[in-house]
């Protein structure tokens, strides 16, 4: 079998994965702002197939790269150890999305993987293990930081979905009132006889509906996660631009 340098394609999957997960984060946040649990679940389930596809590709290429050593003269472990973690995390999260399982376990795996990826990036930079050690460090730090931010984002999403029926207090009092706003007029009438008024109706169904507001730490956490995913995508695009010219100029 002829040698095929698929490093550029690996970087493409990193770019697509970061952009996709960032987009899912935006859709989820918008649905949460609207107090729409169904919209949150729909966004997660809809993204399960593309996220899982990227994870499966990364796992196959990563495991093969670990065993076959496909990049002669390069530090394969530096690339493919981190790439296998990337693929495994995406697969776990995709399965959780598809089956409506707890996301935080995939988020916790991302947290641990993020720490490992950052340490690999630092080692590669400190020992000059690539032709562009600083660019490699930026790539690894960007993806590692995004992975770490995934844990609190998934915990908050699980908590929101776990209280979607409004029977418990999600986040705080304001959210509880917004989910199940009582009718103050109806409550007042329950304690006294209802007397019809001329020209009026005794069945006044007017309800007080407070505006739904997420606690400040929810948008901060989710927006930070989306921003970090965006930075990871930019880092992958920048690194891809460094790789593609040489990848296309020199045939195997």
pLDDT in tens, 135-187: 999 999 999 999 999 999 999 999 999 875 544 445 554 444 444 433 334 44
Say if residue 209's pLDDT is above 80: no
What is the value of pTM for the model shown? 0.79
Give the CA dihedral 100, 87, 81, 249, nearest 10 degrees. -160
CA 86, chain centre distance (Å): 13
Average pLDDT over residues 125-144: 91
Using the CB atoms, write b or e for 198-214: b if 16+ within 10 Å.
eeeeeeeeeeeeeebbb
Q: What is the DSSP letter of 212?
A: P
For the chain, what are the domain ranges?
Answer: 7-182+212-244
Summary mean pLDDT of the chain: 82
Q: Which of 153, 160, 156 is nearest to 38 (CA)?
A: 160
In this structure, is the dihedral angle defined by the CA atoms of residues 72, 125, 16 and 53, taken in order, positive or negative?
A: positive
Using the CB atoms, write b or e for 67-79: b if 16+ within 10 Å.
eeebbeeebbebb
The fold for domain 7-182+212-244 equals: 1.25.40
Percent of the chain with pLDDT over 90: 56
- And the tokens for 127? 């020992």
Average pLDDT over residues 72-86: 87
């Amino acid at each position: 079998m002829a040698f095929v340098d698929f490093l550029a394609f690996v970087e493409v999957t990193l770019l697509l994965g970061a952009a996709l997960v960032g987009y899912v984060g935006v859709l989820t946040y918008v649905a949460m702002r609207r107090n729409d649990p169904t919209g949150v679940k729909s966004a997660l389930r809809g993204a399960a197939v593309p996220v899982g596809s990227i994870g499966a590709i990364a796992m196959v290429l990563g495991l093969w790269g670990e065993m076959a050593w496909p990049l002669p003269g390069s530090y394969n472990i530096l690339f493919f150890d981190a790439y296998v973690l990337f693929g495994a995390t995406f697969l776990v999260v995709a399965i959780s999305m598809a089956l409506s399982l707890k996301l935080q376990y995939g988020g916790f795996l991302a947290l641990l993987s993020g720490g490992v990826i950052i340490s690999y990036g630092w080692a590669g930079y400190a020992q000059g293990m690539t032709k562009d050690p600083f660019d490699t460090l930026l790539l690894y730090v960007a993806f590692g930081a995004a992975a770490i931010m995934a844990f609190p984002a998934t915990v908050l999403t699980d908590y929101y979905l776990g209280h979607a029926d409004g029977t418990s207090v999600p986040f705080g009092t304001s959210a509880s009132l917004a989910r199940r706003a009582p009718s103050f007029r109806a409550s007042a009438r329950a304690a006294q006889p209802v007397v019809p008024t001329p020209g009026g109706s005794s069945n006044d169904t007017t309800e007080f509906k407070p505006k739904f507001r997420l606690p400040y730490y929810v948008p901060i956490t989710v927006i930070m996660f989306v921003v970090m995913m965006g930075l990871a995508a930019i880092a992958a695009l920048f690194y891809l631009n460094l790789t593609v010219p040489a990848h296309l100029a020199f045939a195997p």
